[in-house]
Structure 1
C-alpha cells in the first residue's frame, strides 16, 4: 500500500495560553503555556494520526526550535523527515481571553529557506515519490522559495502517479494549478485571487471552480467556506454541504483537519460525497477545542454520522 507524504514549508511551534482579559500596557498573568507542533502539512499528519492513519511529515527544521519541533512530533509518534536549515524554526503565539473567549493569534514570519535547502526538500520528494500515493502540500510558502516550487512537486507527482493535494495561497498556488493537481482546497478569498471572479454565492463559487477544472488543471475543487461548510466541484458534479452547528472555541488547525479528513476518505476508498463530509466533520470538530488543539475522534465520528444522514 502506498504512503501519504505531507509537505510543510513553513513549520512552527505553536505556543498557546489564556488570560482573564487582554488589557493594554499591563502585566498579564498567563496560564502555563502549551506547546504543539504546527504548520499546514504537520497538522495534517497529526490529524491523520488521530484517525488511525500514518503519514510521513517532510519539513525544514532549524536550530533549537527545530529540534523542539521534532521532539514534539516524536511525542505524537509522527514519522518525520526533517531537512536541517540554517535559520531557526519559527514560533507562533496564541492567547485566549477568558472574559470574552476571544482568541488573539500572533503569527511570526517564516524564516527564509535557502536555495540549497529548497533543493534538498525537492530531492527527498523525488526519492520518496515512488512509494507515495498522496502528496499533501499545505501551509504558507517561506521567503526565498521559488514561486514555481510546488509546480516542480506537481511534475514529480505526475511522473510517479501520486495524487497531489494543495492547500496554500499566492503565486505558489497559481503555479501549482498551472502544472496540475488532483485536489485543490482554497477558501473563498483564495479562489477569488486565483480566478479573478466574484465568489459570494454558491453559483459564483461553482463558476470559479469550473474555470480551473475546465482547463484540465484539477480534478476536484473543494472550497472551504468556514462555518457555512464547503462547496465541492468536479467536471460533472457540484454540491454545497453545510457545516454542523457547534460551539466554536478555536479555529486554529480547522482547515488542516479538513484536509486530513478528506485524505483519510480518499485512502479508505470513500466516494466524493463521503470524502468531503469526513473533511467537514474533522474541520468542524477541530473548532470545538481550545487553543491549538486539533479534533477529538469521538466528535468527528458523531459529526460525520450526522452529515452522512443528510445525503440525498
Structure 2
C-alpha cells in the first residue's frame, strides 16, 4: 500500500461551467462544462498524484453519482479502496460568471451513512500501513461526531502521522482527543473554533495553544490574501501570499495539504514543505473550476520562491 492514505467520507462529483451572466428567473446558458471527482480527500489524492506520488484513497461510494465518481477515479493512478453505502454520492456545482469574475459554488450536504457502513472503513484503516493518514472534508450525515477523533487514535496506534483538514463539531471533537500531527485550518475555521474574531497575533496565540496542549504538533494556518502561518515545535513562520491571477478557489486548501504531505513524505523539513504548500495552493487558484493545480504552475511558483530566498530548489515534482 502507498505510504500516504487520503480519506474521503463525503466525496462529490464536481460539475463546473462558465456563463456570461447570472440572472434570476432566466434560463442560464453555460459553456465549457467540466466534470471531476471531488471532495476533500479525493482532491488531496488527485493533487498528490499530479505531483508524482501514488497515494491510496479510501472513500464512500453509492448511487449513480457514486458509480460516476468511481469511473473517474479509475482513470487515475490512485490506489483505490471504495466502500459501498446505500445513499447517493453528492453532486456539487460551481459556475463562473464571466462578466464579474465571480464564482458561485453550490455544495449539497450529501448522503446519510450508517455506523455499520463506516465500520468497514475503520477496519480498513486498522489494516493500513500508511505513514500518513489524511482526513479531509466534511463528515457525511449520520457519521458520529467523533469519527475523525477515532481515526486519529487508530493512526497513533499504527504509528502513522494524522493530518486533519475539516471544520465544525467533527473538528472540535478531534481536537479534544488528538493526536493530530498537522492541522490545516483557514483563518475563518480557526475563528469559529476560538469563538471570536482573531487578529494575526491572536491567531498565532490560538495556534500555539493547540500545540502546547499536546493535541496538535503543527498548525498550518491559511490567511487568504495575507499568506499563511506555520506554528509548532518552536517554529512560528509566516509566508506572504503569492499573488496570481486567480480563477477559482476550488481545491486550494486541499492542494496545500497534499503538497505539504508530499514534501514531508520525501523527507524534507517542515518549513520547506510549508513553503512548497503555499506555492501549490496558489497554483490551484490559477486554474478554473475544479481542475486543481497544474504541476507546471507549481514548479514555476516554487522556483520563483527559491530564487527570492536565494536557495536551490529541494523538492522535486514528479519524484517521490
After TM superposition, the score normalised by the length of structure 1 is 0.95
Q: 2:239 aligns with which of 241, 245, 249?
A: 241
Q: What SS does structure 1 have at the residue aligned with 2:25?
A: coil
Q: Is 1:37 aligned to 2:23, yes or no?
A: no
Q: What SS does structure 2 have at the residue aligned with 1:219?
A: strand
The answer for the alignment partner of 1:301 in structure 2 is 299
The answer for the alignment partner of 1:258 in structure 2 is 256
Q: Deviations over 1:110-165 (max 9, x none)?
A: 2111121121111111121xx21000000011111111111111111111110000
The answer for the alignment partner of 2:317 in structure 1 is none
The answer for the alignment partner of 1:185 in structure 2 is 184
- Measured on the aligned residues, the alpha-carbon RMSD in Å equals 1.4
Q: What SS does structure 2 have at the residue aligned with 1:208?
A: helix
Cα 1:221–1:99, aligned 2, differ >3 Å: closer, same or farther? same
Q: 1:173 aligns with which of 162, 171, 174?
A: 171
CA contact under 8 A between 1:274 and 1:308: conserved in structure 2?
A: no
Aligned-residue offset at 1:199? 2.1
Aligned-residue offset at 1:53? 0.3
Q: What SS does structure 2 have at the residue aligned with 1:88?
A: coil
CA distance in structure 2 between the partners assigned to 1:2 and 1:29 by the alignment? 43
Q: 1:134 aligns with which of 132, 135, 151?
A: 132
> For structure 1, which runs of at least 5 residues remain unmatched after alignment?
none
> For structure 2, which runs of at least 5 residues remain unmatched after alignment?
311-320
TM alignment of 1:1-20, pairs within 5 A: 3-20=3-20
Query: Which structure's relative contact order is higher, taking Cα pairs within 8 Å and 6+ residues apart?
Result: 2
CA distance in structure 1 between the partners assigned to 2:275 and 2:281 by the alignment? 10
Q: Is 1:229 aligned to 2:221, yes or no?
A: no
After TM superposition, the score normalised by the length of structure 2 is 0.93
Number of equivalences? 309
Aligned-residue offset at 1:33? 2.1
Q: What SS does structure 1 have at the residue aligned with 2:297?
A: helix
